[in-house]
Structures are given as structure tokens and as C-alpha cells.
């Protein structure tokens, strides 16, 4: 079983970070696995995390009144989902749903922000 540190270090999001910065992000990360059809988040709900996809596939959907859910993008291995936690009003602008069993890391947005404020090299 891989550690969160090794999963972070192997994800493209962290490829340009120093080993020290990747180690710091471990305190912000939680590993999660979901089955197909599980929602990671829903449009309009509070946004406070970002998701680093390790395996599987997540589709981003918006609701169109005359059509229902419309897929606007899909994210697979190595992808990143969820930048809404960075911007006011900190709400999701779409739904994110696993279209097959998916394994990912969840990074706590406020904790990542705190790390970035304490270490500008990491934050910027």
C-alpha cells in the first residue's frame, strides 16, 4: 500500500514542487476511493477542497433545464479538480461525479492556503 506522501510525489500536480513542499502537503491530504456514480461535490455547495485523481474518471456536469445534466469535461488519472475553493464565493459551479471507480487525494483548501501564506515559495 502506497503512502500519501508517495501518492502526492507521484502526481503531476506536485512534479515541480520540492520534496519539502510535497511533505508539507501531506498534512492537507486525505486518500479516498469512490464507486462509479458517486458524487465528489454538487453545484452550489460550499467549495473547500481540491481533488487529485490517481485512477478512475470523474465527469463534470452542469444542469441545463431543458436537457438535464450535461457533461462539460472529464478528468482522469493525473488530473486535478476543484479550483473553486480559491475564489469567492467558494461554491462549486458544477457537479463532479465518478463515472467509474475512482481513487483520489482530497486536499483541504484552507490548510493549503495557510501553508502558502506561511511559505510564499509554496504559495506562489
Q: Could you read off the pLDDT of 15-70 as tens digits, one per residue?
A: 999 999 999 999 999 999 999 999 999 999 999 999 999 999 999 999 999 999 99
- Identify the bridge partners of residue 104 per DSSP, sorted by sequence position: 32, 53
The residue extents of the domains of the chain are 4-123
- Chain center to CA of 100: 16
Contacts of 116 (CB under 8 A, 6+ apart): 122, 123, 124
pLDDT > 70 fraction of the chain, expressed in percent and rounded: 100
Which stretches of the chain are assigned E, i.e. beta strand? 29-34, 39-41, 49-64, 68-76, 80-81, 95-108
The reply to whether CATH 3.40.50.620 applies to domain 4-123 is: no
Q: Stretch 100-111: mean pLDDT, rounded?
A: 97
Amino acid at each position: 500500500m502506497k503512502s500519501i506522501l508517495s501518492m502526492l510525489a507521484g502526481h503531476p500536480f506536485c512534479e515541480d514542487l520540492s520534496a519539502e513542499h510535497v511533505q508539507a502537503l501531506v498534512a492537507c491530504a486525505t486518500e479516498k476511493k469512490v464507486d462509479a456514480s458517486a458524487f465528489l461535490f454538487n453545484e452550489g455547495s460550499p467549495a473547500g477542497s481540491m481533488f487529485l485523481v490517481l485512477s478512475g474518471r470523474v465527469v463534470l456536469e452542469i444542469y441545463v433545464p431543458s436537457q438535464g445534466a450535461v457533461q462539460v469535461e472529464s478528468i482522469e488519472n493525473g488530473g486535478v479538480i476543484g479550483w473553486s475553493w480559491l475564489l469567492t464565493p467558494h461554491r462549486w459551479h458544477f457537479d463532479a461525479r465518478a463515472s467509474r471507480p475512482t481513487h483520489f487525494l482530497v486536499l483541504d483548501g484552507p490548510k493549503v492556503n495557510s501553508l502558502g501564506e506561511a511559505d510564499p515559495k509554496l504559495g506562489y
